[in-house]
Structure 1
């Protein structure tokens, strides 16, 4: 049994299938790469409950990844939990675990809390998405526990407290600035980035574009993302006569997404909810202007207009498109150093 160094175990529903996979939970990938470099003497292990769809362990940027291969099958849930507890027990025996860091208030936080409580191991949960909403039965397990709860934005922190009376500290994500291409001349007027689902609210997005096209018939709009709503979105674009204005690009690699951002003027983001919104950081660092709802890390500034109604969105887009002749400027909201330092401080407490 090796007791020589700190051992952090991360629990997450999913993770990258290899170092070539850049699209699976990119914020978590960016964080773990930076943490690995900072904590070069620590052992880092990650258990992925549902995907990748594999049972073969592998090394990802110096971190051991153990897929449990749940494949999002409900009938496998209890089996996966037992498997996770068994692996944690074996791992703890061979390399004593000093910290368990769970992502999402869900099965990972449940198992992380269950295992850590019995062994007096520090447990941290980062609230990642819609897990702050009402109806999340896993929250009750954390309310009277000693778990440290982290939210990603003030909006998310307020929602978690409002819905569950659960206190948290905010530690935002950051971006890897070295992965961004040079700023380009804008040849895309409006860019949409995000999964094609109801939460992202693309029906409103398309309706807004329809109004803008009446004034700007040559408006060029591209949407990056894939999802269950694609067929209905394609139908809406066709019915509104916008096929010459809006292109659906489907899912793109992270590298290609950043290249598109470097070529675009305005990020239009009318999503009904964001826990954080990594896309906002990416857009600002790509020199884009943003029009969005008050979600995630949204904040009003000279590059960002926050709107409550479609009419406000239309006006804001029109204003920013008129300002598109201005030279692009990169903006960086959160630094890698601040986030990594905050988490390491929490790990060390």
Structure 2
């Protein structure tokens, strides 16, 4: 290989935005990849997307080369074909660039292929544990048998969860930080009491959100709440809102472009995060920087984070939200626990930069 061959970091992921307008597709990953590209212009960032976009294609996204294999979540035979094509592409990239390493997102098929290829070619490989891949029952864990020094956890909670389930402790913890330039710098009126942001799936427990608003309405008749997101529980939540008579208090906004979500967060006093399980919950960081308080069941980091309130149950959640809404002396302030530039630097340090 020529001495002037450019360095490359290869990221393996189940999905990636199909274009630059696809703002809601794994938003934290978008922000992280942009930070890598901006902070390390001398390194070629190449993304291999296994399943989404659903069409196999090569394209450029914000100056980042993306190769999509169009897996589309299809059956076993097609999945094996995708793996074969990813492997062939990795072989080609390894001849074109000085590959500094492979980063797999989630301990899944991406880590399976990435780990095998890295061992075959003597390359560095790390797997970023990002959430549900740390739960019990992940069939890829015994097949990979990855050691703790090759695992990166997104939070202290994920370190503990993975260790509890698989008796392996991740040696690295790297949360995905924020890009503060995406937030409006102008002062915005806090005219939304409570916001929820996320997919309307069973794990997120948005029925609790609706119940909380119903209970809070007894104390605050004009309470204003919104939920941003779409999913299979939309119909049930709509029915609950009608049943509780909350049509004027709680609005389901559906899926919105990312910039619009951030603006709504900056208008909100509280982000109510009712999820039963969360690797970190990026929306919580966004809400904190937007000047909202966060109330959630899951505690991601051992060290407390300012304005992020952890509750044990629904009764505790109700008391905490009431306390925040009743605190007339509370003034919004932007809290930045983690910056994405620091995330990029911490990640690249593992790969020798």
How far has the Cα of 1:226 moved from its partner? 0.4
Q: Corresponding residue for 2:95?
A: 93
Structure 2 SS opposite 1:57: strand
Taking structure 1 as the reference length, the TM-score comes to 0.95
Q: 2:206 aligns with which of 196, 202, 208?
A: 202
Gaps of at least 5 residues in structure 1 are: none
Structure 2 SS opposite 1:185: coil
Relative to 1, partners in 2 of residues 1:39 and 1:302: Cα closer, same or farther, differing over 3 Å?
A: closer
Relative to 1, partners in 2 of residues 1:270 and 1:28: Cα closer, same or farther, differing over 3 Å?
A: same
Are the equivalent residues in 2 in contact too, given 1:47–1:84 (CA < 8 A)? yes
Q: Corresponding residue for 2:51?
A: 50
Q: Corresponding residue for 1:323?
A: 327
Q: Structure 1 segments of 4 or more deviating over 3 A?
A: 144-147, 297-302
Relative to 1, partners in 2 of residues 1:146 and 1:116: Cα closer, same or farther, differing over 3 Å?
A: farther
Q: 1:222 aligns with which of 220, 223, 226?
A: 226
How far has the Cα of 1:257 moved from its partner? 0.3
Relative to 1, partners in 2 of residues 1:83 and 1:186: Cα closer, same or farther, differing over 3 Å?
A: same
Structure 1 SS opposite 2:11: strand
Q: Corresponding residue for 1:154?
A: 156
How far has the Cα of 1:298 moved from its partner? 8.1
Taking structure 2 as the reference length, the TM-score comes to 0.94
Are the equivalent residues in 2 in contact too, given 1:188–1:265 (CA < 8 A)? yes
Per-residue CA distance 1:57-97 (angstroms, 9 max, x = gap): 01112221000001111242111111111111122122242
1:71 maps onto 2:72 in alignment: yes
Give me the whole-angstrom Cα distance separating, in 2, the residues matched to 1:317 and 1:239: 22
Are the equivalent residues in 2 in contact too, given 1:298–1:306 (CA < 8 A)? no
Per-residue CA distance 1:293-332 (angstroms, 9 max, x = gap): 1243486555222111111111100010012553311111
Are the equivalent residues in 2 in contact too, given 1:122–1:147 (CA < 8 A)? no
Are the equivalent residues in 2 in contact too, given 1:13–1:48 (CA < 8 A)? yes
Q: 1:233 aligns with which of 231, 237, 240?
A: 237
Gaps of at least 5 residues in structure 2 are: none
Q: Corresponding residue for 2:130?
A: 128
1:60 maps onto 2:64 in alignment: no
1:292 maps onto 2:299 in alignment: no
Structure 2 SS opposite 1:189: strand
Per-residue CA distance 1:249-308 (angstroms, 9 max, x = gap): 000111000000111111111110111111111111010011111243486555222111
Q: Corresponding residue for 1:39?
A: 40
1:20 maps onto 2:17 in alignment: no
Relative to 1, partners in 2 of residues 1:298 and 1:206: Cα closer, same or farther, differing over 3 Å?
A: farther
Q: How many residues align?
A: 349
Name the Cα RMSD after superposition: 1.7
Spell out the pairing of 1:244-283 with structure 2 (5 A cutoff).
244-283=248-287
Q: 1:192 aligns with which of 193, 196, 202?
A: 196
Are the equivalent residues in 2 in contact too, given 1:220–1:246 (CA < 8 A)? yes
Q: Corresponding residue for 1:173?
A: 176
Structure 1 SS opposite 2:202: coil
Give me the whole-angstrom Cα distance separating, in 2, the residues matched to 1:270 and 1:299: 21
Relative to 1, partners in 2 of residues 1:69 and 1:298: Cα closer, same or farther, differing over 3 Å?
A: farther
